[in-house]
Structure 1
Amino acid sequence: MPASISSSSCSSLATLIRHESNHHAIRPQWNLAIDPSTRTTRRRRPVVIRAAGNLAPNWDAWKPDKASKAPSLSDIFWPSAGAFAAMGVLGKMDEALARKGVSMTIAPLGAVCAVLFATPSTPGARKYNMFMAQMGCAAIGVLAFSIFGPGWLARSTALSASLAFMIYFRAIHPPAASLPLLFIDGAKFHQLKFWYVLFPGAAGCLLLCLIQEVVCYLKDNVKF
């Protein structure tokens, strides 16, 4: 009897050991892998360090353009003659407008003469650029004066707005940037109000365009 009990106990103990070993063998393993789609990576922006030699000033900008040939006498004479004729006509118009206290020989039109007669192929001499910039910048000057009155704030606001206007409308015409300042500081133009958009800037440019056609024709066909 004790032998059978001993044998039965050993059999039960062996069964329990096998059960425990199987239990540990089939224990589930948790999958701790991370989905690559949810993983965020932080990229470092490259840092570019330029050589010190690139910071040297470009002295070629201070020298005449070597690619362009020397101008002929006719290339100098006809633009200069056109500027003389333009200021002469505008001066005669001043005499007729003297009783109104308004002058046509304003400084921006002198700069327009230099652009139209000396560099007619540059973007600043395009008709669209000229008239769009002249009218837009003049209107900005009147508006800035109406809001801020005379002073540094009106001038600064008008000039910055004029540059933004020319860049946005792709109508870069450097002489037009002086029109707002001329209106703000020129008391004789205040009476014109928004008529200043057309006169004297746009009206003067129309006259200068007609003279430019004559100057360009003589410059191309009458050489000496």
Structure 2
Amino acid sequence: MMAAAHLCNQVLAPQTQLPSLHLFPLRPPKCDFRSLTPLNSTKRRFHIASSSNVGAAPLWENWAPENTSKPPSLSDIIWPSAGAFAAMALLGKIDQILAPKGVSITIAPLGAVCAVLFATPASPGARKYNMFVAQIGCAAIGALAFSILGPGWLARSTALAAAMAFMIFTRSVHPPAASLPLLFIDGAKLHHLNFWYALFPGAAGCIVLCLIQEMVCYLKDNLKF
């Protein structure tokens, strides 16, 4: 309080030093200590960007390759492509074994899984937790939506919305898994699997792809050309 009074006297000093010719002394103005800002206080400053520049750069950058990423080497291209070939070949061999039972493990979403695992192994979608939780959960949601709503647009829309909510809630976003509910609802040959669809073919196929991914990552790191 004493420091604030001293500061007020310093601020008002030039105004109170009046010539002696005045007949009536002027009353100095009142000092409101609450309006004084401490010398060591910090003021928040806000910077407002011009509306003409907001969003201009990202609009064009989205249509160009990343500037920070270096061009891929030949080994960065060959090994993921070879891993995708080996994955589909191995799944095709498993299909031949399972053919007498009328089931197949090769489904289109596993092709997208190959792209995530082999081409972008460091991305969040390639995490094992994301992949298996999303694959099992989204496939189960598709089977549940079909059992309640049957085939049609309502089942597809509801299943996809529920699958998105499930992945976000469980923090297991894995884009290829979003197609599993649609595949089950529209695929008549998968309906006999019922809720076993949660484990086969999606989750079972991902186990095979994970083994091949380990080989691909090892080759990319140790055999460069």
Is the TM value for this pair above 0.5?
Answer: yes
- Give the counterpart letter for 2:160 in structure 1: L
Task: Quote the offset at 1:220 in angstroms.
Answer: 0.1
Distance 2:102 2:152 in 1: 22
Judging changes above 3 Å, is the alpha-carbon distance between structure 1 residues 118 and 55 closer, same or farther for their aligned structure 2 residues?
A: closer
Q: Over aligned residue pairs, what C-alpha RMSD do you find? A: 1.5
- Give the counterpart letter for 1:152 in structure 2: W
Distance 1:60 1:93 in 2: 43
Q: Give the secondary structure class of the aligned counterpart of 2:137.
A: helix
**What is the match of residue 116 of structure 1?**
117
- Deviations 1:42-69, CA, capped at 9 Å, x for gaps: xxxxxx9972442546110110011111
**What is the match of residue 206 of structure 2?**
205
**What is the match of residue 28 of structure 2?**
none
**What is the match of residue 89 of structure 1?**
90
**What is the match of residue 26 of structure 1?**
none
Distance 1:142 1:213 in 2: 31
Distance 2:49 2:90 in 1: 58
**What is the match of residue 129 of structure 1?**
130
98-107 or 213-222: bigger deviation: 98-107
Distance 1:159 1:100 in 2: 29
Judging changes above 3 Å, is the alpha-carbon distance between structure 1 residues 74 and 54 closer, same or farther for their aligned structure 2 residues?
A: same
**What is the match of residue 146 of structure 1?**
147
**What is the match of residue 74 of structure 1?**
75
| Pair member with larger Rg | 1
Distance 1:99 1:52 in 2: 64
**What is the match of residue 218 of structure 1?**
219
**What is the match of residue 181 of structure 2?**
180
Distance 1:203 1:137 in 2: 14
The answer on 1:98 being equivalent to 2:99 is: yes
Distance 1:204 1:77 in 2: 22
- Deviations 1:12-67, CA, capped at 9 Å, x for gaps: xxxxxxxxxxxxxxxxxxxxxxxxxxxxxxxxxxxx99724425461101100111
Which one has the bigger helix percentage?
A: 1
Judging changes above 3 Å, is the alpha-carbon distance between structure 1 residues 55 and 71 closer, same or farther for their aligned structure 2 residues?
A: closer
Map residues 31-70 of structure 1 onto 2, 5 A cutoff: 51-54=51-54, 56=56, 58-70=59-71
- Give the counterpart letter for 1:143 in structure 2: L
Distance 2:156 2:147 in 1: 12
Task: Quote the offset at 1:99 in angstroms.
Answer: 2.4
**What is the match of residue 163 of structure 1?**
164
Distance 1:51 1:87 in 2: 50
- Give the counterpart letter for 1:187 in structure 2: A
Distance 1:220 1:71 in 2: 13
Q: Give the secondary structure class of the aligned counterpart of 1:54.
A: coil
- Gaps in structure 1 of 5+ consecutive residues: 1-47
- Give the counterpart letter for 2:78 in structure 1: F
Q: List, as ranges, runs of 4+ consecutive aligned residues in structure 1 with deviation greater than 4 Å.
A: none
Task: Quote the offset at 1:102 in angstroms.
Answer: 2.0
- Gaps in structure 2 of 5+ consecutive residues: 1-47
Q: Give the secondary structure class of the aligned counterpart of 2:72.
A: coil
